Structure formats: C-alpha cells, structure tokens
Structure 1
Amino acid sequence: MSRKIILTADDIRRTLTRIAHEIIEQNKTTQQLILIGVHTRGFPLAKRLAANINKLNELKIPVGALDIRLHRDDLSPLNRRPVVQSTDIPVDINGKAIVLVDDVLYTGRSIRAAMDALIGMGRPQSIQLAVLIDRGHREMPIRADYVGKNIPSSRHEEIQVKLMETDGIDEVAIVSVIKTRPPRDKMEKVGYFRRS
C-alpha cells in the first residue's frame, strides 16, 4: 500500500479561502445563503467556509449538519441499522440558497442522498455543491459548483481526507489499495474456481 500526501494543512486553508471567494462571487447576496455540511467531514469544512465568508462579508452565515445515512441507496443488507448522526439545520431552508459541502465527490450517490434529505425538509431556492476533492468516477449525474482540487484516480485508490476537528490533522492523501486474493484453498471453498 502506498500513500501520497496531495494537500497539506496550508493547501487546505488556501483552497477553502478560494472556494469562499467563489461562493461570494456566485451568490450576489449572501443574506439568503446557508452552508450545510454532510456528516462527517463536510460539516467542519462548511464551518470553515462560513468563517471565511463571514470574515470577507462581515455577516453570520448559518451552518448546518446533515446526516444522509437513511437516504442512501447502497446500505448493505447485513447492516440495515446504520449509526445515525444528528441533522441540525438552524434555519428554515425554504427559499434559501443552500451550499451543500462534502469532502470528496466520487460516485455522486452521497450527494444524491443529501439532496433527497434536503428536499424532504423543504423547498430551497437552489442547491449548490462545494467539495474539497473531486475524484471522478461518477455513477450519478452530479457536478460540483465549487471544487478544491480535481484528483483523477483509479477505483483501486482511496482518497483520505483528514481534518483537525475529526482526525487531529489537516491533510489529504491518495492511497493505493492493492487487493490481494485469498489463498487458493479458501478460493475453492467459496467457488472462485469452476470444476468441469
């Protein structure tokens, strides 16, 4: 397994500052703006973005947290009882411009689940998407409005986002995960080989 750091703490700080500027530019008025972070790492990123926007605009942008687990379409049949975190959105979302914030955009399934959850709560004016990393490999027609960094990756690689609030360090790494096959005797037991 190889691991390569692609964003340091300073890189993340600069990236979030740039995204905050882009959000301000795209939203003529920030008075109707709400930032909502997808649990787990999207929420601290949303708080950091809001702090940057507040510093630039001298406003207090509301920040919420969204748990999407019950809206996911890829829950394992073995794990039908997901650990649910709290959804906490401090204001009514009707008529508001929402910026949904997540750490990594991959297949698009998490964001689809997040949009389902939001639409179940009300009718926002718009939903925009800000992500720290876009790694491609979409399975849903989802595109981010604000991207920190595009990281083309293969499916046997993982993007690991670590944040001070959740992991004690700020960094983004790409990790090559080499899948090893089980020993031949175990493969025969589970039917890897067909006998003719």
Structure 2
Amino acid sequence: MKYKNPLHAIGRTAALVIAVVLGSPNLAVQADRPPNFVLIMADDLGFSDLGCYGGEIATPNLDRLAQNGLRFAQFYNTGRCWPTRGALLTGYYAQAIRRDQVPGIRSGGRGKRPDWAPLLPRWLRPAGYRCYHSGKWHIDGMPCAEGFDRSYYLRDQHRFFSPRVHSLDDRKLPPVAPDSGFYATTAIADRA
C-alpha cells in the first residue's frame, strides 16, 4: 500500500510499537525467554466441550491452562482430521498444501506437502523452542524428520487396544499384543 505522505507510515508503525510495548509490561523479563505454548488438536471435540468454553464436562487441567494463557476464539477446521492437522502445523489452507482430496493429484492423507510449506517446528526450533508431538500424524514424512524433538506417533489409530504400527522418535515400536492393557488414549497422553 502506498502512502501519499511517508509520515503516515511512520506514524502507524510508531503506534504499533507503542501498543506492543505498553501491552507488554514485563517485556524486559520476557525478552530473554520465549513464552511457552501448547497446541492441542483433538478429534471429535466440539467448540463448547471444554469447561473453559462453557462445556458440561469437567476439564480442570485444560481450564487452568486456558485461564493463564491465550486461547483460540476462532479457527476453522475441515470435516476430517488430517487436512486440519496439516493446516494447523503449516499455517496454510489444506488445499494449498495438498492435504485435501483433489481429483487427479496425489493428495489427501497420502500426498506430498510442497517444499515451501514447512511444519511449525522448522520455524520454532531456531527460535529456541523444543517441539514435541504425541498422537496421530497423517502428514507426509515422519515427525522428528520434520522438526519435532521427540514424538510418539500412532499410525494404527483405529486399533485403540492393540496397535500394530506406532513409533517413538521415528523408530517403529513392536506391535502391541491384544489384552496387554494398552489403551491408545492413555499412551498418547503419557507421552505428551
């Protein structure tokens, strides 16, 4: 956008800087350490299922995180989990990164993401963040190879009690025997 008077651009930039500085009273303390953040994506979770959004189910730990932090008030997902996960981890629409079904193009859950769409850890790790993944994947590549420090990846997500395909830090784990007491939700939470 062009300005007829360059002072307008300078004034707007100065106003933005002043707003950021005044809105961050502990800026000097925070400058040496980036803020922590947690992204949680849960399948079949409605917008008002958590207590912090008015839900009936008791979610005290998540509510405490929400009370002391920033939470999404508006995010659009797709009808399936894997395009939403791709969009969340890249910042691009699912269709732009080949994470939604496109006739005639290898896409969807088996397509290759464009090289210009790295996952969030590729940006966060150079900034000093440690990045962890626990749960389903459905994105091309493997979690640690794509920038995560550690990962528990449940590829066999339809087998809640005896998965045959799951990995720890991009290395395959042995299949879980039936009646072993394994439960996918617990395993994912324990490794989160």
* Normalised TM-score (structure 2): 0.26
Structure with a larger share of its residues in strand = 1
Q: Per chain length, whose mean CA-contact separation is higher, i.e. which structure has more relative contact order (CA < 8 Å, sep 6+)?
A: 1
**If you compute each CA radius of gyration, which structure gives the higher value, 1 or 2?**
2
TM-score by length of structure 1 reads: 0.26
